[in-house]
Structure 1
């Protein structure tokens, strides 16, 4: 599919919504993220979102002692992403932004079924589309779901929102001389085991030539600066 330069997909973790609480949803963070996304929409960008579910449950963790099967744990994690998607929808609508949630698992009372053509139409009308329930399949992370959906809708890039400015040559929390890497190849990200996304997601992005922008979305105005090619914007790009 032809890529739309004004269309992006933002991927952030469920843990990000919990903030310092460590669990659940912090409404102040919801409000901050909604404001940031609204500022991007006002500049004419089309925004899709994928949110993880780790603030409630992670499939791998739930299945670690063998009581819960991995497949069941992953489905539980998918349901957690729906909770986060509905919360994000409420925050955006409270900010006056049109939103639709599309789920990879049918739950018509809560969300639309995922249909790529319908999602693109919503984006073209200026609505944010939140893709919930991952890929709808166990054993795949929401990182992979983000890359998949971004590729399907023809996004120009996937934004991996983190709490750091991008990818560093060493841990910036431990080393004062850590340097921000402006650009890194898919091959190096895979070879060096850079923990930007899981290997499946990075490989899928490489296959579809989808750039991965890693940035601190929790720095006010940073996302818009990146999208407008502001020289002061801080981020790393995997391509």
Structure 2
């Protein structure tokens, strides 16, 4: 679920969109990652990211790419000269002509880099982010990322992970089981989930793709991991 989205309800009219966000040549083969969203009333509700492995040896690196979601950058232009410099950038587009760009106003840049696009937001009086501009730049044969370079030089970042001051938490405990056995067959889970990818249920197909045998569903592994974490947090008494 997308953060803040409302769950689906009977009668909702939904649509889905998907795009390839990366193609990478790795040692086992070509990895293609796809990101999709399910929309309701024009707003994203569910986000799904899947990766597909095409076994083999690939050398066409000119066709590989990765779409990177940059952290939000907050830029405060201190002087009128700083405003003029930003406005001179060919990739900068200020859309709200009723609200001129002036020094001292923090600008929040949300940037996605490949063919580099993004949006510019300003906090209004009600502490809501309002979109006031856009970013668009086609890299073509350029080296580096001029937009990110500019933002990194003038910015503070938001939304990045911050390392813990101590060594963090250790998910090891003597209370509760730390050993989980995967199912002997994945067919019951496939039947319940409706996900019949043959690498989970057909050993011949799995070996053909280079796997030693069928592999357990990722969602089953995720559920088992959540169960283990609950046991640690509740000291062996999740009930």
Q: Normalized against structure 2, the TM-score is what?
A: 0.21
More strand by share: 2
Q: Normalized against structure 1, the TM-score is what?
A: 0.21
Give the structure, 1 or 2, with the largest relative contact order (CA under 8 Å, sep 6 or more): 1
Structure (1 or 2) with the larger CA radius of gyration:
2
